[in-house]
Amino acid sequence: MSDIERDPEPPTFADLDIDDRVLKALSDVGYESPSPIQAATIPPLLAGNDVVGLAQTGTGKTAAFAVPILSKIDLTQKSPQALVLAPTRELALQVAEAFGKYSAHIPGLHVLPIYGGQSYGVQLSGLRRGAHVVVGTPGRVIDHLEKGTLDLSKLSYLVLDEADEMLKMGFQEDVERILADTPEYKQVALFSATMPGAIRKISKQYMHDPVEITMKSKTSTASNISQRYVQVAHQRKLDALTRVLEVEDFEAMIIFVRTKQATEDLAEKLRSRGFSASAINGDIVQAQRERTIGQLKSGALDILVATDVAARGLDVDRISHVVNYDIPHDTESYVHRIGRTGRAGRAGEALLFVAPRERHLLKAIEKATRQPLAEMQLPSVDDVNAQRVSKFGDSITESLTSDNLALFRKMIEDYEQEHDVPLADIAAALAVQSRDGEAFLMAPEPPPAPRREREPRERPARRFDDGPPTRSRGPEGQELATYRIAVGKRHRVVPGAIVGAIANEGGLRRSDFGHISIRPDHSLVELPADLSSETLEALRRTRISGVLIQLQPDSGPPSGRPRGGRDDRAGGKFQRDRDSRKRPRE
């Protein structure tokens, strides 16, 4: 392999010989200068070289391979020309979305994500229509290959994204099987954070004299910025943000979102809740942008809702807080975002909203910045209400100095005499009037649903290898059930392969798994007891090492079989002997 070193000052995208239509799309999304991995990778890929890129997650790898592929794609060929393999369906969707953005000015180009958890009908119709770029997870790609619905015979470009993660999740055999089904002469790009022996083996076996590009992470954050995160579901983010704004003591704040439309939507919702907020994005004319930033500097505006592009070059000393309402997929973007606070040596606060399925992005940020983020508990209803009462008192104190106080006092005194109403009631009525019908105090959160009382029962019986009970509790308190899958030791499966395949196809998290017991010809896996019928059906069709796992609930040992204690282990040995006699000849 040959090494390439790049000038620390990267060229612009316009200097990289990119297709004009792709260049226009990059300009539309606000990209001007390529990141280091993009500047180093795009030229050799455009030149037709195979490339091994060693870089951390969040350095801009997607554009590094998507831009050259789109610059060379042939729209007249309907069968897939490019295949991108990704370890998880979340990453596959992100990559497909990026391809869609970068090809916005290439009419007729079709990008199709294929992953577990989505019905085959959508994917089959997309493949029949013709997909120039397919982005998929290994298990689902193999399913389509075996069904004959995915034709890779004319593939020109293959990308392995986060290859080391795919191997950690047990997809090595699947990846090699897919590689074996592709043409010998194709362009291959492999991206990985590390270079373990298995990755080196794949690069030697399936790549032709690849250019190796290594990018060291240069992301760092200022020591005077305190970084915290809140884990919150997408549908509760607005409520969470409202609580933070009501309780957190801030001077001025920037809230980062991903899209132009989101800036307008969120700013409007915040204004309706009584906050001084405005949006800036790429569609706002320069005069309005300057006026809005001037208001932020003067104190006439407290909250700015912005995209990454719109916030470039923004330097306002009074910004005390940066909130990542939408977590960035690029760690460098995170560093640039939070750099908007903590200016001129002042202390700054950075807060990151993380949905449960985005925790991998949080870990990538912590790894890239070499700094753990502290988890923050959201303010409670009592905290919010105490703050509202305090601010109400402060507003009364401030109004007592108004020049109009004498006028309104006279009007109130006249009303008191005419209607014989106590002054306190009049003051309360005016306060209600000022709320315009809105509740003043936040309603208490509903109590958690009562747990259903269960009838007393005997201790659950344990399996013959003294393994897990049929039902148990997971690390997050969810009820787990034991399922049987049709792969075991003779198929050479390991726990990582089971977790990777089932999580990928069923849309599960690693925390959803309990005990895994690998037997000679099958395995027992603890999964959430409330899996939907759609998820169960998808998992039944999942393959591990090319074998259908045929997932089904496990009913426990056959009747008459001893349970628990030492007899279990004897039973286990007897069962293994029986299994070996029944095993079909290979």
- Nearest alpha carbon to residue 508 among 495, 497, 517, 499: 499
The predicted structure's pLDDT at residue 364: 87
The residue with greater pLDDT, 451 or 59, is: 59
Instruction: Classify domain 2-214 at the CATH superfamily level.
Output: P-loop containing nucleotide triphosphate hydrolases (3.40.50.300)
Rounded to whole angstroms, how far apart are CA atoms 224 and 234?
A: 29
Per-residue pLDDT of 386-431, as tens digits, reads 776 776 777 788 788 888 888 888 888 888 888 888 888 888 887 7
Superfamily name and number for 225-380: P-loop containing nucleotide triphosphate hydrolases (3.40.50.300)
Is 119 or 570 the better-scoring residue by pLDDT?
119
Q: Between residues 461 and 505, which one has the greater pLDDT? A: 505
Out of 220-234, 434-448, 491-505, pick the least confident. Answer: 434-448
The predicted structure's pLDDT at residue 472: 62
**63-67, 169-173, 508-512: segment of lowest average pLDDT:** 508-512
pLDDT, one tens digit per residue, over 319-329 is: 999 999 999 87
Provide the CA 52 distance to its chain's centre, in angstroms: 25
Least confident of 92-96, 240-244, 480-484, 582-586: 582-586
List, as one string, the DSSP characters of 292-356.
HHHHHHHTS--EEEE-TTTTTT---TTEEEEEESS--SSHHHHHHHHTTSSGGG--EEEEEEE-G
pLDDT tens sequence across 10-39: 478 888 989 999 999 998 877 777 888 899
Asked if 361 and 58 count as a contact pair (C-beta separation under 8 A), the reply is yes
Average pLDDT taken over every residue of the chain: 80
> Could you write out the DSSP letters of every residue in 398-447?
HHTT-TTHHHHHHHHHHHHHHHT--HHHHHHHHHHHHHTT--SSPPPPPP
Do 31 and 42 form a contact (C-beta atoms < 8 A)? Answer: no
- For residue 125, the one-letter residue type is S
Within 8 A by CB and 6+ apart from 136, the residues are: 83, 84, 85, 86, 92, 113, 114, 115, 144
Q: Residue 59: which pLDDT band, with cuts at 50, 70 and 90?
A: low
pLDDT band at residue 573 under the 50/70/90 scheme: very low
Answer yes or no: are the C-beta atoms of 557 and 464 closer than 8 Å.
yes
Sign, CA dihedral 400-404-408-413, equals positive
Mean of pLDDT values over 114-134? 89
Question: C-alpha angle 162/168/174, rounded to 5°?
Answer: 80
Give the three-class secondary structure for 560: coil
Report pLDDT for 303: 95
> What is the model's pTM?
0.47
Cα angle 300-242-298, degrees, rounded to a multiple of 5:
10
Question: In the structure, what pLDDT confidence band is assigned to residue 445 with cuts at 50, 70 and 90?
Answer: low
Distance CA 174, CA 39 (A): 31
pLDDT band at 560 (very low <50, low <70, confident <90, very high): very low
> Bridge-partner residues for 472, per DSSP?
480
Distance CA 380, CA 10 (A): 47
pLDDT band at residue 435 using 50, 70 and 90 as cut-offs: low
Task: Write down the domain spans for the chain.
Answer: 2-214, 225-380, 403-435, 471-582
Which of 57-61, 213-217, 413-417 is modeled with the greatest confidence? 413-417
Task: Give the range among 273-282, 407-416, 571-580 with minimum mean pLDDT.
Answer: 571-580
Give the mean pLDDT of 131-143.
93
- Does the pLDDT of residue 469 top 80, yes or no? no
Name the fold adopted by 471-582.
Alpha-Beta Plaits (3.30.70)
The pair phi, psi for residue 565, each rounded to 5°, is 65, -155
pLDDT at residue 462 tops 60: no
Return the bridge partners of 133, or none.
Answer: 82, 111
Q: One fold for both 2-214 and 471-582?
A: no
